[in-house]
Structure 1
Amino acid sequence: MATITARPNTQAVESKQGAIIKKRSAIPTTRSAFGDLDNKLPGGVKADKGGMLRQKAATNLRKPLATKQSNVPVKTRVGSKTDVPTKPTLSKAAVQKQIAPKKLLKPAITESPVAMVMGTPIKEQADCNVFAIGLNPAIENIDENDSENPQLCSEFVNDIYHYMLYLESEYPIQRHYLKDTGVKGRMRSILVDWLIQVHHRFNLLQETLYLTIAILDRFLQVHQVPRAKLQLAGVTAMLLASKYEEMYAPEVSDYVYITDKAFTQSQILSMEILILKTLDFSLGKPLPLHFLRRNSKAGQVDASQHTLAKYLMELSLVDYDMCHVAPSKLAAGSLCLSIKLLEDSEWSPTLEHYSRYSKEDLQPVVCHLAKNLKSADTNTYQHAVKSKYSNSRLMKISQIPEIKAPLVSELAEQAANHKL
């Protein structure tokens, strides 16, 4: 697999060249309006300097059109006045009956309509919102103070996450999906570790990395890829994720360069078409970051706890044994372990309500996350993630002493007893 080398920054040069704007010539033209186009205007219309059309006899437009006299003789009507039928006189009640508006008949409904909530058919109104607080006073309404901020979408934020839970079930990842293929789980770990380095070198968004791994896993579980094309599938998945998430996505030539020209642009574009057809152009799978932000708001956590949860989630990307864990469950388990290590607090009823997982449901995920956290010092496939989170921009979260607490070792030893 190709190593990542430094590339000269040509973007700044291109931006300077792109800033050169040619000035329009200020030399006036003597061409008459529509004259050179062989499209002369009628005699009564002239063209102004500003391009507005003007008519000399504008008042003629306001006069009614005169009807031409017809040469067809009009046949006079023969008959007396008594021949004209007279309207029958109506009573007062009959007149009021004609004037009264007609009532619109409502169509008869034979069956009760099925409500459609964010793409999911639900028959009972109580099931329309799985995040309904109900009568439990221990659950806090985390959106009650957000009504004045339209960007927080407090009126339908619960419907959004309800729909994301539905999409999560629509695009699952099978457990050990590489079992009957020529690609091993270790090869996937090497590829994901390299993609994390490429993502960090391109300085892309966090959503791009998670969507890259999601596209890659969904593609590999339904389409067998030879070992020689595994890296090609990885960079193409990142290309698609960049187009989906980034405002300024890297070009195809950048991915050719980052692979040390192991693949051509035509190969990457052909693989892009294959992935899109295989996934039926459905790339909107929810990401663990989406659920983590909601859970962090429900738990009122600080920046260090949120960053540690992101570190735990990114360590799990390399772990092939955790690729089938649902994004919502992975986010909830990461935050559960984070607040346990940094604050020594329990999983509150509010967090259980908004994450849809209890502490018992998250115990297997927490143990496997602790196993990855403990092996980060020795596992070569996790060095890129650990080095990334040792930066001061990410609060050097991979170097804090709390992640080496005895609780981490205890939970890591229990990982073998908990099946994901």
Structure 2
Amino acid sequence: MATRQVILPKNRGEAPIPGAVKQKNMVAETKNRRALGDIGNMVAVCGVNGKPLPQVSRPITRSFCAQLLANAQAAASENNKNLMAVNGNVAIVADGALPDKKAALARKLVQKKDVAKSKPEEIIEISPDTDGVRVKEKPPQLNKEKLGENLLDELSSRKQAPTLTSTLTARSQAAYGLSVKQKEDIVDIDAADVNNDLAVVEYVEEMYSYYKSAENESRPPHAYMDSQPEINEKMRAILIDWLIQVHYKFELSPETLYLTINILDRYLSATTASRRELQLVGMSAMLVASKYEEIWAPEVNELVGFSDNTYSNNQVLLMEKRILGKLEWNLTVPTPYVFLVRFIKASMTDSDVENMVYFLAELGMMNYATLMYCPSVIAASAVYAARCTLNKTPLWNETLKKHTGFQEPQLMDCAKLLVSFHSAAAENKLKGIYRKYTSMDRKAVALLPPAKSLLAAN
């Protein structure tokens, strides 16, 4: 950069002195040159590898500075071409051996890399078994190909160790007296049916979740008998006791019986029926349920024969149409039998408990008072009452809680009601169900004493 003359500012109103101005200009020029020399003209410029560049006598302008920088970069790139990548602990040189200084520098870099690789990393470990915190060195990463099977097993077992969060949660629950149930307490009741396609193990839980959500949609109101002018609860019980006998004579499936009672109650809750046609409604309901559930449904004339020809075939078919119209052909409903099958399987007991469960459930279906409970509660209460009757311990376990979704207090009222029906079954005039379950093919469970301890419980 060229020096410029420094012109001092003049005060207003003062005339310039020629000799003084010339002297001041010379002093300012000298100071300005020294300052420019300090900036760059007189200072040695260092190049690549610390070697000073030759002194330049000319001022360093912007273009000249750019030229110097380009020369320095070109020299650096030329030196880099002589060096190759360092592989392991040996530096490979393309144009021959490295100079002494460069070789020493390369060896230092390699040593630094080795130290960085071998230096263990410090990690902080919080042990759940102790209250302290300790710092330990993290071992270097190992090659899995060089590890033996025992070492791999050890590393995998460390990954499965309990976490700090789970340990603290367990301690907190223990401090407040909360017991954590082990997974072994809940038995997988579907494990034996994995290869059975009919058991639909893959989505059986989703099925019963849907049944529980939809059971109240197809449930008849428990007070519908108040709107019936000519029939009452006793007439309904007589009709169902007769239908159970007809069902037993035809050897129909249990699904047909429970669906018949569901269709009967839903139809009577939707319309009024006279006393004369009550039996006709029951016969037609069984005909509809048989066509839905059975492979070979009974013929109309066979049902008419069981009614001592009280009705004609044409009357039965007309009533069948009326029932389907009132129900809007909605026959796929979760009855208590749907839940009984699942809950009996969860009970994991012998055939005596199974027959006792069906005996108590049918007694409950015959009595109008049971309609106040939903189908799943009736089924779970029948299982609970049967286990109480046969003294099965424990009366209610974790497996039953999981698959039924009910605790013991939730089933107590309905279970007591079913046990009271069992107590009065031998003296009741309606003995269709009682005779059915006194036979040996049903293990004569109706003859067993009822669970009076359950009735005495508060």
Q: Name the TM-score, length of structure 1 as normaliser.
A: 0.63
> Counterpart amino acid of 2:398?
P
Q: CA deviation at 1:146?
A: 2.9
SS at match of 1:323: helix
In the alignment, is the contact (CA less than 8 A) between 2:360 and 2:422 conserved in 1?
A: yes
> Counterpart amino acid of 1:157?
V
Identify which of 325, 329, 351 aligns with 1:277: 325
Query: Following superposition of structure 1 onto structure 2, how do residues 311-390 of structure 1 map, counting pairs within 5 Å?
Result: 311-345=359-393, 346-381=395-430, 383-390=431-438
Q: CA deviation at 1:135?
A: 8.9
In the alignment, is the contact (CA less than 8 A) between 2:389 and 2:450 conserved in 1?
A: no
Identify which of 296, 301, 314 aligns with 1:253: 301
In the alignment, is the contact (CA less than 8 A) between 2:336 and 2:378 conserved in 1?
A: yes
Aligned to 1:24: none
Change (3 A) 1:258 1:145: closer
The 2-side partners of 1:226 and 1:341 are apart by 40
Aligned to 1:32: none
> Counterpart amino acid of 1:154?
V
The 2-side partners of 1:223 and 1:331 are apart by 28
In the alignment, is the contact (CA less than 8 A) between 1:295 and 1:355 conserved in 2?
A: yes
The 1-side partners of 2:286 and 2:418 are apart by 25
Give deviations 1:87-108, integer Å, cap 9, x for gaps: xxxxxxxxxxxxxxxxxxxxxx
Identify which of 140, 143, 147 aligns with 2:187: 140
Give deviations 1:108-167, integer Å, cap 9, x for gaps: xxxxxxxxxxxxxxxxxxxxxxxxxx9962333322443222221111111111122223
Q: CA deviation at 1:323?
A: 2.5
In the alignment, is the contact (CA less than 8 A) between 1:176 and 1:321 conserved in 2?
A: no
> Counterpart amino acid of 1:251?
E
Change (3 A) 1:317 1:405: closer
Structure scoring higher RCO (CA < 8 A, sep ≥ 6) equals 1
The 2-side partners of 1:406 and 1:354 are apart by 27
Q: CA deviation at 1:185?
A: 0.7
Query: Following superposition of structure 1 onto structure 2, how do residues 82-231 of structure 1 map, counting pairs within 5 Å?
Result: 137=183, 138-182=185-229, 183-231=231-279
Identify which of 337, 353, 359 aligns with 1:305: 353
Change (3 A) 1:324 1:139: same
> Counterpart amino acid of 1:319?
N
In the alignment, is the contact (CA less than 8 A) between 2:257 and 2:286 conserved in 1?
A: yes
Aligned to 1:264: 312
Aligned to 1:77: none
Q: CA deviation at 1:235?
A: 0.3
Change (3 A) 1:368 1:197: same
In the alignment, is the contact (CA less than 8 A) between 2:385 and 2:451 conserved in 1?
A: no
In the alignment, is the contact (CA less than 8 A) between 1:173 and 1:324 conserved in 2?
A: no
Aligned to 1:34: none
The 2-side partners of 1:288 and 1:194 are apart by 20
Q: CA deviation at 1:243?
A: 0.6
Query: Following superposition of structure 1 onto structure 2, how do residues 392-403 of structure 1 map, counting pairs within 5 Å?
Result: 392-400=440-448, 403=449
The 2-side partners of 1:202 and 1:245 are apart by 13
SS at match of 2:224: coil
The 2-side partners of 1:377 and 1:233 are apart by 28
The 1-side partners of 2:324 and 2:223 are apart by 23
Give the aligned CA root-mean-square deviation in angstroms: 1.8
SS at match of 1:352: helix
Q: Name the TM-score, length of structure 2 as normaliser.
A: 0.58
The 2-side partners of 1:258 and 1:167 are apart by 35
Aligned to 2:31: none
> Counterpart amino acid of 1:407?
S
Q: CA deviation at 1:322?
A: 0.7
Give unmatched runs, 5+ long, in structure 1.
1-133, 415-420
> Counterpart amino acid of 1:218?
R
Aligned to 1:407: 453
The 2-side partners of 1:259 and 1:135 are apart by 56
In the alignment, is the contact (CA less than 8 A) between 1:390 and 1:399 conserved in 2?
A: yes
**Runs of 4+ off more than 4 Å:** none
In the alignment, is the contact (CA less than 8 A) between 1:172 and 1:324 conserved in 2?
A: no
The 1-side partners of 2:304 and 2:374 are apart by 32
Structure having the higher Rg: 2
Change (3 A) 1:405 1:358: closer
Q: CA deviation at 1:208?
A: 1.1
Give deviations 1:66-88, integer Å, cap 9, x for gaps: xxxxxxxxxxxxxxxxxxxxxxx
> Counterpart amino acid of 1:142?
I
The 2-side partners of 1:353 and 1:136 are apart by 13
Give aligned-pair identity as a percent.
Answer: 33
In the alignment, is the contact (CA less than 8 A) between 2:227 and 2:272 conserved in 1?
A: no
